Every structure is written in structure tokens, then in C-alpha cells.
Structure 1
Amino acid sequence: MPIYLSSHHLKMDEELCFFNQDTLVIKAPKKTPLILRMVVLLFTMACGVYICLVCLKQINPNKTMIKFLNIKVIDYDNESCPDPHLEQWEIPYVHYPKPRTFERNECACNPVRYFAILSMQRSGSGWFETLLNNHTNVSSNGEIFSIPDRRRNVSSILKNMDKVYNLDWFSSASRNECSAAVGFKWMLNQGLMENHEEIVKYFKKRGVSAIFLFRRNLLRRMISVHANSYDKEAKQLNGTHKSHVHSPLEAQILAKYKPKLNATLLIPELKQDEETAAKATQYFKTTRHIVLYYEDVINNRTKLNEVQKFLGLPYRELKSRQVKIHTTPLSNQIENWEDVQKTLKGTSYESFLADYQVSSLALL
């Protein structure tokens, strides 16, 4: 009997195959888009490259570790030279410089402390610095910013300080690679006050300790300033000018000059000096610092022990060859003594008129 198939059945016949009594349905495969094939290929290649790199790293595992360790040593000098005796607060003030001009060799792990003597002219800072340099472990490099070009701007100031604290500054006070404390002397009128904000930041960042040295009797400082200015012109010592002397004879010659002070400007000038010193200590109050007075250091030598402790130095008996210039009573040092006396009596500066005894081996 003939079987008639409709158009519907014929269409299904194109998509389905019948085998015996079991029906096997096979759908015609759809064509895979070209973009999808490319994505799969690129993914496969990327995986292959990654697997190769992992295998190469496993072959030489030490290379990466060596690089990491080297970076750690460079970034953390204090950790590369551990000192079990250091207290926690001392760590920011202990340094291990790496000079460019020489090698520290066996002293590479000897700690170095940075300091700066902040003072005013004729306040005994030169004498004080010779005491520090008498210590075998100290290098104080003098008044480095007395040269205007070195303090022409903040960048120049910071650059010169870096040179000092990296141990690349050479002067007659320079020690050797085993210096335990290094610094310099800085007068308040040598760019310090004008740039105090940047300098305070530098001190705190580099761990620099400030040593303030002032003079209680500002009248005596004023006499010394005038006498020193006069000698710059007169050159009383065989045609040469000397701010500091090393023999009683030289001191006697320089002490012959008696300045005449302006009585009208006397109190304003003393007040200005007083305010400048107070302002400086206020500016640097957030830094690690110590405040000393010339008269106290002369009359109480235990003050020098305090300084050595402040700098973390072993104690030494410190000496100076400098000789004090003005040793006679104030009435013999000022030409118009009576005017000065009359001006200061009854004021807060009257105490400056009093005389006191100091060692003849100290500098004025």
C-alpha cells in the first residue's frame, strides 16, 4: 500500500534519520564563528607562555630572592648595623653614613650622631667648639655658613648640610672614618632664622641634634663684638686680625681697646639680642636640643659631661688652648662706663653691670 508523505514530513526527513525501530536524532552542526575561534586560540597561547615562565622561575629560584635582599640592605642601613645597646628613642639620631669620597671600612657600622651648634657671634661658640674637637671622636667643622654663597638659598643650605653629615666635608677638624659625632657651628644671622621652617624639617628628618649656646651677660657680648670689629680694621697683632688668641700676651694686646657704646641705643640693642635668642629656641623647640650658657660652662665643667652624654659620646676631659681676652672689671673695658651705668640702672639689664670671676683660659 503506498505511503504518502506530506511536505511537513519531507522537511523533517531532511533533519532526522531513522534506523530500524530505534530512532536516532542528529542535529545538523552549526558553523562556529571565526572570532570565537581566534579568542580560543589566543587564550591557549597565553596559557602556554605563562606555563613556560613559571617553569623558568622554578629552574632559578635564587635570582629573585637575591634582588630582594639587596634592596632591603640599601633601604635600611640601621637594620644592617644593629646595636643592641641602643634605646628605642635613640634610633632616629644614630646614623651610618656612606661617604662618596672615601670608605669607612671597618668603621662602616660605627654609629654617627649629627649636631649643630647654634649661637650668636662672640658668645663663646669658638671656644666651645675647640672643646668638642678636643674629643677624639668628634668632628665639628667650624662656621661653614659664614660664606654667603653657601647660604644664598634653602637648596644651597641643605646641600652643604648633606655634605657635612655624609662625612664628605673636609676641614682642619675632620677626623677619620670612625668619627662618632659630626657637625658644625651656625650663627643665628647666617640664614638660620630666615629659613628656620625648612631647617627644622631637615633636622627632624635627618635626626640632627641642636646645641644652643648663648651668653647670659649680653653687655659683655656687646663689648666683645665692638672690640672684634675694631681689630678687623686695626689688625693689632702684627698686622693680622685674630678673633681668638692662644697666648696671654695676645689677649693683653687686644684687651687694650675700650669701645664707646651708644647709650641711647643700648637698651634696644640688648632687647633685640634677647628676643633673637628666645625666638631661635622657640623655632627649634620641636627638635632634639639642649640649651647652654657660656657662663655656666665656664664655672661648672660638669656641663661638658652633659654635652657628651647628649651626643652619646664616651666621657673625656676636654681642654682648649684658647685664652680669654677681657678679664678686667667692666668699668675698665668701656670708655663711657658712667653713661652705660646710668642707662642700665633700674632696668631689667642692671645685673649685667655686675662683675664676676671666670677662668683666664676661656674665650670671651
Structure 2
Amino acid sequence: MAEAICLFTKGTIIIKSPKKSPIFLRMIVLVFAMVCGVYICSVCLNQTNFGTTSKLLNVEINKRHCCDYEVDRSQTPYAHYPKPETFSRAECACNPVRYFAIFSMQRSGSGWFETLLNSHTNVSSNGEIFSVKERRNNVTSILTTLDRVYNLDWFTSASKNQCSAAVGFKWMLNQGLMENHKEIVEYFNNRGVSVIFLFRRNLLRRMVSVLANSFDRYAKLLNGTHKSHVHSLEEADTLSRYKPVIDLSSLVTDLKQMDQRVSEALEYFSSTRHIRLYYEDLVKNRTKLVDVQDFLRLPQMELTSRQVKIHKGPLLEHIKNWDDVNKALKGTMYEKFLHYNDY
């Protein structure tokens, strides 16, 4: 068998083989060339991968920074740019959003007021979300719910599009708000949440509304249906026919407790950015709604509501034992409620 001899001199390969085996020589050269080619390719690929990996590791993602130069610097902590987990704000990503919460008590006009706010194109007020007990079981559940609302991941029939400029809800004082006020104040101040206080001056009228609404829960005067708010004069007239009897033994105490509850709320949340409103003022002076829009830094719009007031006219027309109530409050600090109208 013919033999081939390979000599390596100064990096040059010299192959000597018998003259009688040219095919064998060509095969050796071909195999050697293939081996060298595979080796060189593998080295090149490794170098390419390393370089690519290094470049990827060194790449910094520059997030788009949103800045509204028209926003007053004092308002910067209250202008937010949420990043919802459930959808993309797309072209609205740099539209500033302001967070708010309406603090109120049942039957104080908060439902009517919220419909007014939601008639604004840029407002999404999500209703009484803490009426569900599971959401207010403890501070953790409360803060988790707040995060969802203010991150725009809370969806209700009131929710607008991703370009909403003000997002919030209404929160009754008896829905875990007062018991957890310290943690909530801290959260609101850290997140830049503004508070809208909405109360009723005439607490006696509020009492009448509460009693009438409680009665209708069982009586269901509107064709077997209970409605806390109505949208027609006929429905309002039907509900207003019921005249509650006021418990005289606890009347003054009940009014005092309501008054104290309001005072405590104003004190607990005094360190937040807030505005104080009264139902009677909103009814009599619609320019108060301009103040609200300014407070939320919204473009001015005419706000409307389809809700109809149920108890109109003087209180004596809505309390069955009016004469007794009148006597019980004479000479007290609550005597003013007897003739104070909010229509």
C-alpha cells in the first residue's frame, strides 16, 4: 500500500506521496481542508455569539419620559401617568391623570354628584366600590383595591377610555374609611390622591331620606322595584308619599353623632389635598361645579344629571310626626334644620 508523508515547515504543509497515487493525495487534501473549514467556522460563530450577547447586555432601554409643561409645578405630585396591566394607553400614555376620592355619607347627594362628574368627558368615577365588604376587610385589601382603581385596571359602567384625565370613586364614611384613616391618609399623600368632601348641612333632611330609603327596600313602592335614585318626576312623587315617623327619644343624639362623624372625617383627612362641598350649595349655586373642575384641573364643561330630587319642599311635608319633632328640636343647636330648605 502506498504511503503518504506530511511535513510541516514554517506553517506550510508539504505532502509527499508516491507518484503512483494522485487520487489518494487529492482525498487527503480535501479532508484536511474540510476539517480546517469546520474549525474556522466554529471559532467565528462563537466570537459572533459572544459579541452579540455582550451588546445585548450593554443595551439600556430608554423609557419614554412624559412631561406636561403646562402643569403647574406645585401640581406635579398630582399629575400621574399610569401603566395599566390589562391594556395599553397607547397614544394617551402621556396624558396626565389625576386621582380623587369622594368622601360622603349615604343620602347626602353623592350619587347625584357623581353622575354630574361622570357627565364630563374626561372623568371616570367608579361608584361605591367599598360597598363590597371583601374589599375593606383589612388595610391590605383596601390598598390593593385602591391600586387597581388608580392604575386604571378597575372597570365599571362609569369607566371611560384610556385618555381619562381624572379617575376616582365615592367612599362612604362607614365603609372602613374612618377605622383605617391613618394608612389611607399615608397612601393618599404618597400617591397624590385628592379628596372631595361632600356632606349635607341639613342632617334632619338626611335622616328623612335614610328612613324613607330603608322603608322602600322592603316596600318596593315602584312596581315592586327598589330604587335609591330616580329619573322621573312620577317616580319621585311616588317615593315622597311615604312619611317616616322620627324616633324622638334618640333624635338629638342621632343628629349629634352624624355631626361628630363629619367633624372627625374633616380632621382625620385634613393633611390631604382636599375641597369641601355641601349638597345644598351645589343645588343652589351651580358655579360650585366650576370649582370642582378647577380642583381636578379639568377643562370646563357643562355638567348634567338625569337624577330627580325625591323630597322637595319644606320638611313638614315629609315627616309624619312633624309637630313632635318641631317641639323636640326647639331651643337646641339643631333647631335651624327645621326651616332650612335645600331646594
**Bucket of the pairwise TM-score, normalised by the shorter protein:** 0.7 to 0.9
What is the DSSP-based 3-state SS (H/G/I as helix, E as strand, rest coil) of the residue aligned with 1:313? Answer: coil
Q: Distance in 2 between matches of 1:205 and 1:293?
A: 27
Aligned to 2:25: none
Aligned to 2:271: 286
Shift of 1:356: 2.7
Aligned to 1:154: 139
Shift of 1:62: 8.9
Q: Is structure 2 residue 312 aligned with structure 1 residue 327?
A: yes
Deviations 1:120-161 (A, max 9, x none): 000000000000000000000000000111111111111111
Shift of 1:84: 1.0
Which of 299, 304, 309 pairs up with 2:294?
Answer: 309
Aligned to 1:346: 331
Q: Which has the larger radius of gyration?
A: 1
Q: Distance in 2 between matches of 1:189 and 1:182?
A: 22
Contact 2:202–2:340, Cα closer than 8 Å, also in 1 = no
Deviations 1:79-115 (A, max 9, x none): x101111111111101011111111110000000000
Q: Is structure 2 residue 152 aligned with structure 1 residue 173?
A: no
Shift of 1:238: 1.0
Q: Distance in 2 between matches of 1:173 and 1:319?
A: 15
Q: Distance in 2 between matches of 1:269 and 1:348?
A: 13
Q: Distance in 2 between matches of 1:313 and 1:349?
A: 37
What is the DSSP-based 3-state SS (H/G/I as helix, E as strand, rest coil) of the residue aligned with 1:236? Answer: coil
Which of 261, 264, 268 pairs up with 2:249?
Answer: 264
Q: Distance in 1 between matches of 2:114 and 2:224?
A: 26
Identical counterparts, % of pairs: 64
Aligned to 1:182: 167
Deviations 1:10-44 (A, max 9, x none): xxxxxxxxxxxxxxxxxxxxxxxxxxxxxxxxxxx
Aligned to 1:239: 224
What is the DSSP-based 3-state SS (H/G/I as helix, E as strand, rest coil) of the residue aligned with 1:291? Answer: strand
Aligned to 2:92: 107
Aligned to 1:119: 104
Q: Distance in 1 between matches of 2:83 and 2:342?
A: 46
What is the DSSP-based 3-state SS (H/G/I as helix, E as strand, rest coil) of the residue aligned with 1:97? Answer: coil
Aligned to 1:142: 127
Shift of 1:313: 0.2
Q: What is the one-letter code of the residue matched to 1:124?
A: G
Ranges in structure 1 where 5+ consecutive residues have no aligned partner: 1-55, 359-364
Q: Distance in 1 between matches of 2:306 and 2:276?
A: 24
- How does the TM-score come out when normalised to structure 2? 0.83
What is the DSSP-based 3-state SS (H/G/I as helix, E as strand, rest coil) of the residue aligned with 2:277? Answer: strand
What is the alpha-carbon root mean square deviation over aligned residues? 1.6
Ranges in structure 2 where 5+ consecutive residues have no aligned partner: 1-49
What is the DSSP-based 3-state SS (H/G/I as helix, E as strand, rest coil) of the residue aligned with 1:209? Answer: strand
Q: Distance in 2 between matches of 1:119 and 1:355?
A: 20
Shift of 1:63: 5.4
Change (3 A) 1:128 1:357: closer
Q: Is structure 2 residue 239 aligned with structure 1 residue 254?
A: yes
Aligned to 2:321: 336
What is the DSSP-based 3-state SS (H/G/I as helix, E as strand, rest coil) of the residue aligned with 1:145? Answer: helix
- How does the TM-score come out when normalised to structure 1? 0.78
Q: Distance in 2 between matches of 1:249 and 1:205?
A: 47
